[in-house]
C-alpha cells in the first residue's frame, strides 16, 4: 500500500483526539482538538469526522474520554471514591453512540470499549487501570481498522483489470473516512500500487459534496486521475465511458447484504445494473449488522433543512417550501455484484456468504 501523502484523519495525543476538520476541506487543512464527549458528539454530528469506520475509531477514543470525564464528575460529588462512575460513564457512552444513527461502526466501537470497561469495573479494578485498558482498546480498534483497509484494498484490486481501469465512486470512502487507507478508495490505492492506470469519476455527492470536496482532494493527493461530475451526470457518463466498476463504501450492511450508504448510492446501483457495470460495496466487518435481517430495518439519518435550502449561507429554497434531507439510502443486495471485505470478496447469495465469512 503506498504511503498516503496527506495528514491523518484522526490521531490520539494522550489527552485529546486531533481531528482533521473535514468541513473545511479542500479550502483549508485545519484541525480540531477534542477533549470531551460533548465536543466529540458535536464533531461527529457536524461531520468534522465522518465516514463509518472513522466515526467508529473516533468513538473508541471517545469512550476513554467518557471514562475520564466520569471520574472527574464522580470525584467532584463526594470523597475519594468515584461512587457514580459507572452511571456517568454509561450516560456519556450513550450520548456518544447516539450522535449519528446510520453508521453501525459507531455503536459497535462504543459497545466494544464499554464492555471492556464495565467488566473491569465489575471486577473491582481501579479507575486508572480501566482507563489504561480503554486506551489500549481504542488503539487496537484503530490499528485493526488500518489493517482491514489494506486487506480490503488487496481483495478489491483483484476485481479490476490489471492494466487500466475506469471506476466510478460516490461520497468519500477513502482515508478520510477510515482509520487507514479507506474502503472503496483503498481498492484504488492497491490497484495503483500494482501499476494499474486509473481514471476515476467521483460523483460530487449532494448535498454536502463529500465526493467533490473530499474524494477529489484525496485522490488528487495520491496522484490518481480524478474527474468530478454532478450526481445527475452519472447516467450519461456511465453510458459514454462504460466504467469497469462502480465501487462505494457502506454505513451498515444487513444480514442479507442490503447496504446503507450515502444518499444517491441506490440510484447509482440501478444505473450500473442498466449499463451492465459491476457494482461493488467495500466495507470492513465492523460495518455489518447481522442483527438486522434486511435493509428495511436500517435507521436512516435525516439532516437539517439548511444543508439543502441554504448551502454556504446562500438561500436556494424559498422558506415556504418543504425540504427532505435523508443522508443515506439502502441499496438492495440484488444490485450488488460483490461485497469486498477484509476477509475476501463475498458473492451472492449474501445471507450465506456473509454468515460464513463473519463467523470465520
Residues binding ligand MRU (CB under 6 A): 47, 50-53, 103, 171, 173, 177-178, 183, 210, 249-251, 261-262, 327
Nearer to ligand MRU, 47 or 134 (CB): 47
CB of 269: closest distance to ligand MRU in angstroms? 13
**27 vs 321, beta carbon nearer ligand MRU:** 27
Q: Can you state the percent helix, strand and coil of the chain, rounding each to 5?
A: 45, 15, 35
Closest CA to 64 of 127, 149, 152: 127
Sign of the Cα pseudo-torsion (303, 305, 311, 316, in order):
positive
CB 346, min distance to ligand MRU, A = 17
Q: Which three cell numbers stand for residue 251?
A: 454505513
Of the two residues 160 and 250, which places its CB atom closer to ligand MRU in the complex? 250
Q: Which of 251, 258, 289, 329 is the catalytic position?
A: 251
CB of 33 to ligand MRU, least distance (A): 21
**Residues 115, 353, 144, 102: what is their CA dihedral angle, to the nearest 10 degrees?**
-60
Q: Which residue is nearest to ligand MRU (CB)?
A: 249
Q: How far is the CB of 82 from ligand MRU (least distance, A)?
A: 34
Helices (DSSP H) in the chain: which residue ranges?
Answer: 37-45, 52-76, 85-97, 104-122, 127-157, 184-193, 216-221, 234-241, 265-275, 306-309, 350-359
**Would you say 138 or 209 has its CB closer to ligand MRU?**
209
Q: Is 289 a catalytic residue?
A: no
Rounded to a whole number of angstroms, the minimum distance from the CB of residue 54 to ligand MRU is 7
Of 275, 297, 273, 295, nearest to 351 by C-alpha is 295
Q: How far is CA 80 from CA 75, 103, 323, in A?
A: 6, 39, 52
By beta-carbon proximity to ligand MRU, the closer residue of 12 and 328 is 328
The CA distance from 198 to 226, in Å, is 8
Query: Which of 204, 207, 203 shows the shortest CA–CA distance to 310?
Result: 207
Task: State the minimum distance, in angstroms, from the CB of residue 120 to ligand MRU.
Answer: 31
Q: Which is nearer to ligand MRU, 53 or 82 (CB)?
A: 53
Rounded distance between C-alpha atoms, residue 57 and residue 178, angstroms: 8
For 290-315, give the secondary structure using H, E and C. Answer: CCCCCHHHCCCCECCCHHHHCHHHCC
Q: How far is the CB of 61 from ligand MRU (least distance, A)?
A: 17
The cell for 305 is 433543512
Cα–Cα distance measured from residue 77 to residue 343, given in angstroms and rounded to the nearest whole number: 48
Asked whether 208 and 47 are in contact (CB, 8 A), the reply is: yes
Give the three cell numbers for residue 123.
471486577
Which residues form the catalytic set? Answer: 251
Amino acid at each position: 500500500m503506498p504511503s498516503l501523502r496527506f495528514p491523518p484523519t484522526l490521531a490520539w495525543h494522550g489527552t485529546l483526539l486531533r481531528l482533521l476538520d473535514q468541513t473545511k476541506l479542500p479550502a483549508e487543512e485545519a484541525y480540531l482538538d477534542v477533549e470531551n464527549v460533548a465536543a466529540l458528539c458535536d464533531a461527529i454530528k457536524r461531520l468534522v469526522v465522518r465516514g463509518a469506520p472513522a466515526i467508529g475509531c473516533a468513538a473508541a477514543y471517545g469512550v476513554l474520554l467518557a471514562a475520564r470525564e466520569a471520574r472527574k464528575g464522580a470525584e467532584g460529588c463526594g470523597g475519594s471514591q468515584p461512587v457514580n462512575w459507572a452511571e456517568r460513564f454509561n450516560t456519556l457512552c450513550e450520548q456518544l453512540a447516539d450522535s449519528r444513527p446510520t453508521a453501525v461502526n459507531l455503536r459497535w466501537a462504543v459497545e466494544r470499549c464499554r464492555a471492556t470497561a464495565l467488566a473491569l469495573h465489575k471486577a473491582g479494578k481501579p479507575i486508572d487501570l480501566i482507563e489504561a485498558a480503554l486506551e489500549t482498546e481504542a488503539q487496537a480498534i484503530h490499528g485493526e481498522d488500518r489493517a482491514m483497509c489494506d486487506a480490503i484494498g488487496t481483495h478489491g484490486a483483484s476485481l479490476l483489470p490489471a492494466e487500466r481501469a475506469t471506476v466510478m465512486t460516490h461520497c468519500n470512502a477513502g482515508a478520510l473516512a477510515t482509520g487507514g487507507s479507506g474502503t472503496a478508495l483503498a481498492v484504488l490505492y492497491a490497484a495503483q500500487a500494482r501499476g494499474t492506470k486509473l481514471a476515476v469519476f467521483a460523483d460530487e455527492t449532494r448535498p454536502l459534496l463529500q465526493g467533490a470536496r473530499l474524494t477529489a482532494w484525496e485522490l488528487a493527493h495520491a496522484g490518481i486521475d480524478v474527474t468530478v461530475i454532478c450526481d445527475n451526470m452519472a447516467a450519461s457518463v456511465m453510458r459514454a465511458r462504460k466504467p469497469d466498476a462502480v465501487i462505494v463504501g457502506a454505513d451498515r450492511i444487513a444480514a442479507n447484504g442490503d447496504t446503507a450508504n450515502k444518499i444517491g448510492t441506490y440510484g447509482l446501483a440501478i444505473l450500473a445494473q442498466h449499463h451492465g457495470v459491476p457494482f461493488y460495496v467495500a466495507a470492513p466487518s465492523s460495518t455489518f449488522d447481522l442483527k438486522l435481517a434486511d435493509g428495511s430495518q436500517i435507521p436512516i439519518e435525516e439532516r437539517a433543512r439548511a444543508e439543502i435550502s441554504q448551502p454556504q449561507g446562500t438561500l436556494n429554497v424559498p422558506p415556504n417550501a418543504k425540504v427532505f434531507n435523508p443522508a443515506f439510502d439502502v441499496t438492495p443486495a440484488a444490485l450488488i455484484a460483490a461485497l469486498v471485505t477484509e476477509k475476501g470478496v463475498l458473492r451472492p447469495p449474501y445471507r450465506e456468504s456473509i454468515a460464513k465469512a463473519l463467523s470465520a
